[in-house]
Structure 1
Amino acid sequence: MPPTRPAPVRRGAVGSAALGAVTPVCLLLALTASAAVTWFTLGRPADRQRLDTLTAGRGTPVPGMALDLLGAGAATGGRLVLTLAALAAVAGISVLVARNRPSDAPVLVPAAAPAASAVLISAELRGSAVDAVLGLCCLALVLTDLLAGGRGRRRIPGGVPLGVAMTVQPALVLFAVLLWCTHSRRRALTAVAVTLGLDAIAWAARPAGTIRYWQHLADPAVVPVADLGDQSVLGALLRLGLHELPLLSAWLAAAIVVGVLALRRGAAFAADGQRLLAAGLVGCAAVVAAPVVQPAELGWLLLAATGRVGRRPEDRALWPIVAATAALLPSQALDPRIEPVTGYLLLNAPTLTAAAAAAVLPFRRRADPLWRVRRTPGPTPQHPLGRSYLPLLPAVLRPVSRPNLLLELLLIQVGYGIYTTIRNAAPDRVALSVEHAREIYRWEQAVHLDIEQTLNAWALQYDWLLDVMLDFYKLMHFTSVLSVLIWLYVRHPSRYRTGRTVLFATTGLALLGFWGLPLAPPRLTPGLGFRDSPVSSPDSAPLGALTSLTNQYAAMPSLHIAWAVWCTLVVVTTTRSPWARIPAVLYPVVTLFVVLTSANHWLLDAVGGALVLAVGCLVQYLLTGRRLTDRDRLAVTTPGPPPSATAEPEAEGTPQGGVATPPPPPGNPPPHGP
């Protein structure tokens, strides 16, 4: 009897099993984090006051009545009910998104729960926890009505969840219009009837509170101009300076145009099988039409992020990152707080992103040959440190092609915003920082490395020289790094990703030093005689208005030295031109002389900066297997850029949309992005 052969294992079966094991773990972690953060934020005084307003009938009428009927008017009971509602919303959204994900995007299975949890936690930390829970519950109710219709027996009549959500957020009536346009008219009418019935019950129970609620929604003057937490179109127009009739006209025009376009596109993408994208587009239109938008309502952007934009793989990641940034980060994080750069577009980025997603962005259909694109991974000549499990990143995440320019600018801007926020949030403990500085100075004196005082005393004799050094200190720190990054991106794209990752890792590690070891620079250490000018006092700051944006007691390690040495390593290992190498070698030497002479850093700060850069290079090496100092690419010449994207053919030559695409003629490559 011949031996039986084991059944072949389908490709992706192991991956599906692994994802199935990962999903419960991710869901459990997301629920735990959501419960902890929700319970904590609901205990803040502002949220306790908001909960009292809600249950007393002065807030949203129907949720306040529900809390009263559950006996949750007290602070502890309200916190418990809202925490359970938040957990139910996170779990429901996770399950619905995982079941309706695009067929070739299994990564959304474990990412659905963290995404829903991230929306909740980010909204709670940025605004009112009560409004964040209500907003996420409305999102879960809408998705329940839209996405759970054809799965199993319906326990709740269609249209009821949407009607409840419309009662809390009237702008969600756009989803009833979407149901009407997609021939689900009974569900649309049911949703409207449920909304009218709940509003009538609230009116009968609390007429005064209901009247105040609808007056609040109908009066755009209640939106404060300076409230950047409100990311509605109405708030953006108010911050632009419009009032009364021009304000109402512009708001209504934007709401009507964006709403009509979003409904048309949503119906088309729902028919195309992209139901998550359709829900996200209409939800973004509801954000545009709402008079007040809380941070949790921006969660519709994450559903719209499932759409696919762009031809090249390097372009494909831009839209999801933009959507996640706008939905999860406060608008202040996108503002560098430097006057020439600060702009209206950055402060209103969430609003504009939602409007663009609903009406403008050209998302691809499933029948499009470029629905799937495959990125060519970068080669790894050997395993780092001889370990087979290194590098840590998979090959698809280690490309060497030129990345998308807008994506890089966004990463740099967001990275700088996070860096500035964390650096300024580091403990500004003056007494401890000064004591650390004195210990550093005593240690340098013990080993005869205290050259700062000699250099500073010599520079104080020449006012013009000190002014030049201070200008160098202010300008070259950012200008040189940006110049090198631009040069790498334009002339040496294969080395750009390596250099950028080392720079980001070095800066992130330096933040740990700023937080853990607050250190005063020499010029802010009294009693040692350091000064930044002949007429200044030891506690002065030489950077003018820029000092109000930074923590002056974050001197260890010195990022001036770390970034300067990074510039040198990148330039010297990339080009053989002496006109570039000689200034690159001199730049960190001059920077070290400037920071010591102007009393802005200790010598050990410079040593710490060099060590942080070394660790950043090690992190990059372990992640990708590429070193910042690799020279082998200098001799590599290629006749032309390799193809960066290839359209993957579907099974039997038929794409998922069901429309067959003819094969390419012989001798021609398959369609791919430029």
Structure 2
Amino acid sequence: MASDTLSRRPPTLRRVHTNSRLATAAKEIGFLLSAALLYTLVRGLTSDRVDAAFRNAEDVISFEKTLGIHVETELQSLILDHEWAIDAANGFYIYGYWPVFVLTLVWLIARRPVAYPFYRNALLASGAFSLVIFAFYPLAPPRFLPWHGFVDTVSVAVPTYRDMSSSRLVNEYAAMPSLHFGWILLLGIAWVALSRVLVLRIIGATMPLLMFAAIVLTGNHYIVDAIVGGAVVVAGLGVAVLIERLKRQRAVRAAIQDAHYSAGGDGGPDGDGGSPIPAQRLPNLSRVR
């Protein structure tokens, strides 16, 4: 009988784990749909502020020149005569974002479920910070300013991608912060911190650098956009750390209360500091001679 029970238990546990992961995946889809809705609403707030977006772009360029980091057009000039380099930058910008994003979340849910909530919280918090910036600081991307020497390499080489991404649901004046860089930085941190395979950790460390190059070389973001993208991710990680600390504090308090209750403390059923004695363990005094 015992062996039959043990033989039946693993499939049951697998079904429980599968159902739990499906429920988690469904919850995450809800989060993503909510984020998409918020993004759409913010897009509505900024779509009629095109003039402000271009004024802000001029301000960003002036700010970068003041800092001596306005080198985007110089970097672009290094690849414009090399088709393979343009294809590489475009390819990583397009395929190094959403596919990596989705696959990493699936990997975290399936293989690192304990760590997943931390990175999910960091992702959502950084996204929330970004939405605030999108709403109050619309910014035209470099590719919209060809008179400054910027080239939209994606439109030149992959026009179908621009056609697909130019829907009303896409905020084209949300260059700052660059979540292309920021979220790949966050996912790269997860790869480095959680992967047991050295090659994957190296890839995780390299991905943010490649994405930084891609967003600049394709004319989609300013260098400052990447800096702010990294900053919102750091802020998101800070929120995730705070949430984890609060969860641990609650767990410790709950454990202390449970231990106090079990020991018959102030919150115990007998309230006298002693351990309650079950009735069935009391001696039958009527039989004592």
Q: Give the alignment's TM-score, normalised by structure 2.
A: 0.71
Q: In structure 2, what is the equivalent of residue 215 of structure 1? A: none
Is 1:444 the counterpart of 2:45? The answer is: no
CA distance in 2, matches of 1:463, 1:592: 19
Contact 1:436 1:520 in 2 (8 A): yes
* Structure 1: gaps of 5 or more residues: 1-310, 316-400, 628-674
Structure 2 residue aligned with 1:290: none
* Residue 516 (str. 1) matches residue 136 (str. 2): yes
CA distance in structure 2 between the partners assigned to 1:569 and 1:512 by the alignment: 24
What is the CA–CA distance in structure 2 between the aligned matches of 1:507 and 1:619, rounded to whole Å?
12
Q: SS state of the match for residue 601, structure 1?
A: coil
In 2, Cα distance between equivalents of 1:402 and 1:497: 13
One-letter code aligned to 1:601? H
Q: Deviations along 1:376-415, whole A, 9 cap, x unmatched?
A: xxxxxxxxxxxxxxxxxxxxxxxxx968234334324423
2:262 alignment counterpart: none
After TM superposition, where is structure 1 displaced by more than 3 Å over at least 4 residues in a row? Answer: 533-536
- What's the CA shift for 1:495? 0.6
CA contact (8 A) 1:423 1:550 kept: no
**2:280: which partner in 1?**
none
Contact 1:562 1:609 survives alignment (8 Å): yes
Q: 1:561 Cα deviation (Å)?
A: 1.1
The answer for the alignment partner of 2:271 in structure 1 is none
Q: Residues of 1 paired with 2:194 and 2:134: CA distance?
A: 31
Partner of 1:596: 216
Residues 61-140 of structure 1 mapped to structure 2, 5 A cutoff: none
1:587-608 residue CA offsets vs partner (Å, 9 max, x unmatched): 0000000001111000110011
The structure with more radius of gyration: 1
Matched ranges for 1:516-665 at <5 A: 516-533=136-153, 543-548=162-167, 549-625=169-245
Change (3 A) 1:626 1:576: farther
> Shift of the alpha carbon at 1:490?
1.2
Task: Tell me the distance in 2 between the aligned counterparts of 1:553 and 1:619.
Answer: 27
Q: Answer whether contact 1:423 1:554 (CA < 8 A) is retained.
A: no
Percentage identity across aligned positions? 27
Aligned AA for 1:488? L
Q: 1:420 to 1:474 in 2, by over 3 A?
A: farther
The residue aligned with 1:426 is: 45
Find the aligned partners of 2:152 and 2:99 in 1 and give their Cα distance. Answer: 22
Aligned in 2, Cα 1:535/1:600: closer, same or farther, shift over 3 Å? closer
Paired position in structure 2 for 1:502: 122
1:542 shift after superposition: 6.3
Residue 414 of structure 1 is matched in structure 2 by: 33
Residue 620 of structure 1 contacts residue 626 of structure 1 at CA under 8 Å; is this kept in 2? no
Who is 1:459 aligned against?
79
Q: What are the ranges of 5 or more consecutive residues in structure 2 without an aligned counterpart?
A: 1-14, 248-289
- How well do the aligned residues superpose, as a CA RMSD in angstroms? 2.8
CA offsets, 1:294-329, max 9 Å, x none? xxxxxxxxxxxxxxxxx97x97xxxxxxxxxxxxxx
Residues of 2 paired with 1:542 and 1:402: CA distance?
33
Q: Give the whole-Å Cα distance in 1 for the aligned partners of 2:34 and 2:115.
A: 20
| Counterpart in the other structure of 1:435 | 55
Match of residue 372 from structure 1: none
- The count of corresponding residues between Structure 1 and Structure 2 is 229
Higher helix share: 2
| Superposition deviation, residue 500 in structure 1 | 1.1
Give runs of aligned pairs for residues 8-87 of structure 1, distance below 5 A.
Answer: none
Verify the 8 A CA contact 2:40 2:171 in the aligned structure 1.
no
Query: What are the Cα deviations for residues 220-243 of structure 1, in whole angstroms up to 9, with x where unaligned?
Result: xxxxxxxxxxxxxxxxxxxxxxxx
